Structure 1
Amino acid sequence: MSGASIHAGEAPKPVGSYPHARRVGELLFLSGIGPRDPATDAIPGNEMYADGRVRKYDIEAQTRAVFANVRAVLEASGARWEDLVDVTVYLTDMARDFKAYNAVWAEYFPDPAAAPCRTTLGITALPTPIAIELKCVARLQE
């Protein structure tokens, strides 16, 4: 496998056997990153039933948390938020959550001309009870 793998101590541990990111040349590829709290593994904004199912969640809280986790991986890799060039966003409920998630995105990227490219996909589930996950590519400054 080419490229240096990165494990960020300030980000939640991956839920599988993979690094937080891998550097290949001037590009940094981040694995899927969710909103879990790095210290407690709790999911911001989730309210659960006793049987472990999600009763309700807060997409704005999860979006802010996933952005913080992405930033932690970027910083551990020597990159900055502004170095993001491409982001794929996975939402488990596109109809319910797109507008609120998009509003938070606009807070973090107020200038569309300076924002990374973005694709948003609606999917049925993620590996933990989260409503959003990001897959990112950044260009490292030499």
Structure 2
Amino acid sequence: MTVSIVHAHTAPKPVGAYPHARRVGNLLFLSGVGPRSAADNSIPGNIYDTNGALSGYDIAAQCHAVFANVRAVLEASGARWEDLVDVTVFLTDMAKDFAIYNRIYAEYFNIAQPCRTTLGISALPTPIAIELKCIAALTD
């Protein structure tokens, strides 16, 4: 059975001691992926006040960024978007963000249709509004 760890140089660095993904046999398990930029660790769509405190965010910008980061990890793993079989989504404000996120999700998953669970949670480890946990099934 193939077991390997994946570190994607085109995705943001993990915020802890874990890999971007781990392949076990034909399954690829992605660690939680957020919308941070791989280039400078900034968070697309975040708005800060003059004291540097988070005052708002653009969930659409974060959705597009998180999907791009998931794609980067998949590609570094030798997988494709269409290989995704399960996606768990964490939103920090389900009431405010679900409709926008759901619309954008449908744009990215119009052909590939993995199973999906969406959870509303109170916080994530960094000041992001969305994180994805994904599983892909590989054919080789």
Q: Shared topology, TM-score over 0.5?
A: yes
Aligned to 2:27: 27
Aligned to 2:124: 126
CA deviation digits over 1:95-138, x for unaligned, max 9?
00000000000111124xx4100000000000100000000000
1:133 aligned partner, one-letter code: E
Aligned to 1:107: 107
Aligned to 1:41: 41
Structure 1 residue 53, shift from structure 2 partner: 2.6
Secondary structure of 2:29's aligned partner: strand
Distance in 2, Cα, partners of 1:50 & 1:22: 40
Secondary structure of 2:35's aligned partner: coil
Distance in 2, Cα, partners of 1:92 & 1:7: 26
Structure 1 residue 51, shift from structure 2 partner: 3.7
In the alignment, does 2:137 pair up with 1:139? yes
**How many aligned positions are there?**
139
Aligned to 1:11: 11
Structure 1 residue 48, shift from structure 2 partner: 1.0
Structure 2 unmatched ranges of 5 or more: none
Distance in 1, Cα, partners of 2:40 & 2:50: 19
Secondary structure of 1:82's aligned partner: helix
1:39-78 to 2 correspondences below 5 Å? 39-78=39-78
Distance in 2, Cα, partners of 1:30 & 1:58: 24
Distance in 2, Cα, partners of 1:6 & 1:109: 24
2:10 aligned partner, one-letter code: E
Q: Percent identity?
A: 70
Distance in 2, Cα, partners of 1:35 & 1:119: 18
Secondary structure of 1:103's aligned partner: helix
CA deviation digits over 1:16-71, x for unaligned, max 9?
01000000000000000000010011100101124443211010110000000000
Distance in 2, Cα, partners of 1:19 & 1:3: 13
TM-score by length of 2: 0.96
Distance in 2, Cα, partners of 1:128 & 1:116: 26
